[in-house]
Structures are given as C-alpha cells and as structure tokens.
C-alpha cells in the first residue's frame, strides 16, 4: 500500500483508492456508524423525542452519507503525505534522545532515533488527534453531554503514539481509566471514543462502558480500579506464553498505582515464570491530588521491579518512547521475561473533569510544562527543524484534524442510545447459559449477541 493510501485511509477509518479520474472511498467497517445507519436519516418519532431529552447541545442535523463523506474526504485529502505536495527536503533524519536511566541492565536502547518523513507526518497526525479528542471530550463534558467520570490524557500523548508505533498485531494492551487516547490508537476511530463517552450506540462498546470501560481488539480496557489492570495484564502475558502466540502484554499503570501490593505480586509471578510482559509506569507526577514525592518512598519507578530490569524514559518524546518500547520488545521476545519502563510525563487537566487541578499544584507549574515540554510542540519543532515536513503541511494537518473531529462530533450527535432489548446483550463472548438474571428472579432475560466480532 502506498503511503498516501495508508495515511488518509487510517485517518478516515477507511481506504482511499486513487484511480486515474476518480477517488473512491471505501469506509472501514467501524467507521462512523451513525453515518451508515439509516435511523439518523429517518428517525422514529420516539427517537427524536429521546434525542431532544438527552440535551445534546448541537442541533440534530440530518446526515447525508454522501455529503458527509465527501466533505470529510475533501478536508483530509489535502494532508495525504504525497511526497509531491509535502515537498519536504529530507526523507529521514536522526535525533538525539534524552539519555535513558537503566536498572539491572548493562546496555539500554540506542540514544539516537531515526525518523522518516512519512512516520513524522503520521505521528504528528496521531498526536494531534489524541489531543483534539481530549479537548473535545472536555468541552462535551462541560456541556453536560458526557456525564460521570472523565479522565483526560492531554500531555501524555507521546507515550500512546510512541508505543503504538512499534506494537505488533499479536500484542495486547491494558491500561487504567485514563484510556481515551489509547482506545483511539488501538481501534482507530474517534467516533468510537466520543460516542462511547456520550453513551451512544456508535461507541466502541455501544455506549455501555463510558469513559473508563472502553475496549477493542486485544485491548483490555479501561480499568477503573487503580492498579487492577496489573495482575490482569500479567494474566494476559501468561495467556500469550501458554498459547505460544508470540504476543507481549503491555501493562500500563500510573505512578500512584505503583505503590500497590498487587503490582508487586504481579512482578513476582511475571519474573518467576518469565512472562512476556512490558510494565509501563506512566509517571504523570500526581495520583489524584497527591504528588509522587508525597506518596512514594522511592520515586525511581523504573527500579521498583527490584529483580526486574527497568528503564527510565522521557515520556514527552515520542521517539524516546518508541525506541525504549522497541528495545523492551526485543528483551521480552528473547525469553528474558518482564521489563519495566517508567515513562515520565505530565497531565495538563486535573485528575478528572471534576478536579480543577490547581489546589495541589500551581497554574504556573502547568504553564511551564506546556511551554517547555509539551510533547506535540517538541515533536513539531523536531520535524520542522530537520525539514521532514513543511510548515504548510503541519498547518494542514492541524486544521484537518480539528475539522475532522468536529465533523465526527456532529455525526455522533445524531446517534441514539441502545434500546432496553440490549440490556442482556454481549455479556458473554460464548454464551453457555442464555438466562441472565434480571430485576425479577422469576423473569430472567435472554442473552443476545449484538456486536460483531472478528
Ligand atoms: C483501589 C483504588 N484505590 C483508590 C482509588 C481512587 N483513585 C482513583 S484514581 C487514583 C490515583 C491514581 O493515580 P495514578 O496511578 O498515578 O494514575 P493517574 O490518575 O495519575 O493516571 C486514586 C487513588 C481507586 N479508584 N481504586
Ligand atoms: Mg499519576
């Protein structure tokens, strides 16, 4: 597949085939469900009433599949990394990476990273998309479209993008409740995340999970209980080893979770059985309103696997995250067992949308990080300085991503919640007993399978 097909295709969630005189867009199965669904064009009166009740701030607009797709396509076709229009002067460049710190290792990842202009465009687009997704989620939350919990990832994007860059199809990922950007990176759809946040059926789990419970193929959430994903992730590693599928479990947790006993139990069994797991501690400096230094006797999280080797990584640098992950994959696949990566980062918003995030840290501290260490600004500066992309292209990507997310939001606005008949849907992957306990013990519900699976 040529690079112009892949970038635009991924961005649109489909594939663009450029034929001599026409461009054909083939939507991917999971791309904006609401556009595909006829109910937004011919809603039942009941659906309309429901939609009004649910206080969407936008006017419900009838979506015309062709018009919407064409508009999206028009907006995005301009950012195809055609070497012709990107006019970048370099096809690749090498960058220094902030030195890694090592624990129980003689040699770490290379301190230089090479980047191609295609990857530069792609990472930049993904970083932008993750940031825009969260900014949009914040606005929707303020508009009361998203209710309940909402933990944003802004500031931490370099980790998701850097790790994803080297993730293989056989690998699995599990993380905490700070999972929106991860869900997007794995599933590749913005609608799947935003509609999920708003409880709509185009959500990646049909609106039943919300902010903390998003899933995808080989993506095990989205976990609300702090640290609970660490033993589960270790279990996933056991499954990879048991099945011999060559996969690695990427188990992510915050530095707050790093003080929990269950993590040390997971470390123990992972090392004892040499399980294929990469533990990634996303050290964003705070757990709720408590700084790492106030909560941890030792803040060198990369050393805290004790008998497990560890690496400290600059988590604001996509390339450092990518290279460290590449090294960790080599380590684990050579049968040496687990490894710990501490990726040092920062979160811009409060712990969740209900925390202003200014009582336990100063506004000045946040501003300083935004100004001097922002992962997107740093990456942009890098790729521009080495002429991997042109300033015009960067601008185009920024604008296209913003427009794209706006368009997805409008389409999500036309979507509805699932009906009550789905109350007993998809509880099991393989259903053995179809009777599901309902509110009345004498009236069980019947299990149904709704979501399509590969
Ligand atoms: C077992 C458990 N204890 C406490 C909480 C409340 N709680 C929610 S988030 C959080 C802080 C976790 O911080 P960290 O692991 O650093 O993750 P971050 O939010 O910074 O991504 C706490 C204590 C919880 N959800 N589960
Ligand atoms: Mg934290």
Mean pLDDT of 19-25: 29
288 C-beta closer than 6 A to ligand 1? yes
Q: Where are the domains of the chain?
A: 88-393, 424-454
pLDDT at position 28 over 60 = no
Rounded distance between C-alpha atoms, residue 340 and residue 312, angstroms: 9
Pick the atom of ligand 1 nearest to 258's CA. Answer: 15
Q: Which residue has the higher pLDDT, 424 or 67?
A: 424
User: Which residues hold their Cβ within 5 A of ligand 2, which is an ion?
Assistant: 254-256, 284, 287
Q: What is the pLDDT of residues 379-407, one digit of tens each?
A: 999 999 999 999 999 999 999 999 999 99
Residues of the chain above pLDDT 70, percent: 80
Confidence band (pLDDT; 50, 70, 90) for 141? Answer: very high
Q: Is 272 in the pocket of ligand 1 (CB under 6 A)?
A: no
**Would the CB of 294 count as within 6 Å of ligand 1?**
no
End-to-end CA distance of the chain: 22
For residue 392, the model assigns a pLDDT of: 97
Q: What is the pTM of this model?
A: 0.83
Q: How far is CA 255 from CA 158, 176, 235, 341, 346, in A?
A: 17, 11, 21, 11, 11
In sequence order, which residues have a C-beta less than 8 Å from that of residue 119 and are 6 or more positions away? 165
Q: What is the DSSP string of 13-70?
A: TEEEEE-SS-EEEEE-TTS-HHHH-GGGTS--HHHHHHHHHTT-SSPP----HHHHHH
The predicted-structure confidence for 83-124, as pLDDT tens digits, reads as follows: 435 666 899 999 999 999 999 999 999 999 999 999 999 999
Are 233 and 247 in contact by the 8 Å Cβ rule? The answer is no
Q: What is the pLDDT of residue 175?
A: 98
* Ligand 1 atom, smallest distance to 292 CA: 16
Class of domain 88-393: alpha beta
For residues 132 and 49, give the distance between their C-alpha atoms in angstroms, rounded to a whole number.
30
Whether ligand 1 lies within 6 angstroms of the CB of 451 is answered as: no
Q: What atom in ligand 1 is closest to the CA of residue 283? A: 16
Q: What is the pLDDT of residue 67?
A: 42
CA of residue 176 to ligand 1 center, whole Å: 9
Q: Where are the alpha helices (DSSP H) in 332-453?
A: 363-373, 375-385, 391-413
Query: What pLDDT shows up at residue 451?
Result: 83
CB burial of 300-312 (b: ≥16 within 10 Å; e: otherwise) equals ebbbbbeebbbbb
**How far apart are the C-alpha atoms of 170 and 162, rounded to whole Å?**
17
DSSP secondary structure string, 64-123? -HHHHHHHHHHHHHTT---HHHH--S-SEEEEE-PPPEEES-S--S-SEEEEEHHHHHHH
Distance CA 74, CA 178 (A): 33
What are the pLDDT digits (tens) for 237-296? 999 999 999 999 999 999 999 999 999 999 999 999 999 999 999 999 999 999 999 999
Q: How many CA atoms lie within 13 A of 226 on its CB side?
A: 14
Q: What is the pLDDT of residues 46-81, one digit of tens each?
A: 544 554 444 343 333 333 333 443 344 444 444 444
Residue-averaged pLDDT of the chain: 85
């Amino acid at each position: 597949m040529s690079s112009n097909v892949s970038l635009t295709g991924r961005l649109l969630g489909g594939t663009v085939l450029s034929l001599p005189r026409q461009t054909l867009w083939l939507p991917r199965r999971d791309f904006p469900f609401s556009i595909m669904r006829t109910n937004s064009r011919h809603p039942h009166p009941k659906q309309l009433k429901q939609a009004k009740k649910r206080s969407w701030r936008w006017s419900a607009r009838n979506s015309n599949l062709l018009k919407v797709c064409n508009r999206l396509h028009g907006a995005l076709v301009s950012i195809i990394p055609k070497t012709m229009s990107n006019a970048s002067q370099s096809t690749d460049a090498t960058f220094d990476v902030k030195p890694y710190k090592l624990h129980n290792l003689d040699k770490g990842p290379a301190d230089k990273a090479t980047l191609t202009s295609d990857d530069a465009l792609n990472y930049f687009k993904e970083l932008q998309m993750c940031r825009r997704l969260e900014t949009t989620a914040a606005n929707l939350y303020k508009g009361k479209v998203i209710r309940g919990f909402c933990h944003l990832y802004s500031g931490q994007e370099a980790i998701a993008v850097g790790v994803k860059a080297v993730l293989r199809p056989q690998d699995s990922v599990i993380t905490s409740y700070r999972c929106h950007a991860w869900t997007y990176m794995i599933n590749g759809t913005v609608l799947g995340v935003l509609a999920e946040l708003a409880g709509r059926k185009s959500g990646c789990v049909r609106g039943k999970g919300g902010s903390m419970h998003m899933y995808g193929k080989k993506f095990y959430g989205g976990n609300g209980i702090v640290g609970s994903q660490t033993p589960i992730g270790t279990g996933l590693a056991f499954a990879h080893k048991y099945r011999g599928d060559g996969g690695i479990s990427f188990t992510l947790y915050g530095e707050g979770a790093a003080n929990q006993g269950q993590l040390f139990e997971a470390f123990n069994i992972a090392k004892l059985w040499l399980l294929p797991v990469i533990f990634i501690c996303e050290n964003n400096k705070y757990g709720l309103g408590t700084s790492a230094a106030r909560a941890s006797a030792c803040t060198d999280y990369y050393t805290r696997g004790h008998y497990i080797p560890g690496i400290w990584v600059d988590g604001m640098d996509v390339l450092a995250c990518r290279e460290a992950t590449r090294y960790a994959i080599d380590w684990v696949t050579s049968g040496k067992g687990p490894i710990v990566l501490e990726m040092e980062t920062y979160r811009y918003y409060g712990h969740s949308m209900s925390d202003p995030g200014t009582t336990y840290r100063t506004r000045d501290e946040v501003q300083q990080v935004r100004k001097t260490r922002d992962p997107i600004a740093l990456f942009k500066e890098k790729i521009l300085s080495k002429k991997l992309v042109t300033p015009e292209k960067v601008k185009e990507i920024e604008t296209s991503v913003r427009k794209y997310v706006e368009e997805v939001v409008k389409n999500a606005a036309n979507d509805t919640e699932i009906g009550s008949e789905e109350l007993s849907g998809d509880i099991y992957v393989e259903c053995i007993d179809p009777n599901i306990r309902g509110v009345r013990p004498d009236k069980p519900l019947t299990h149904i399978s709704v979501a399509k699976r590969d």
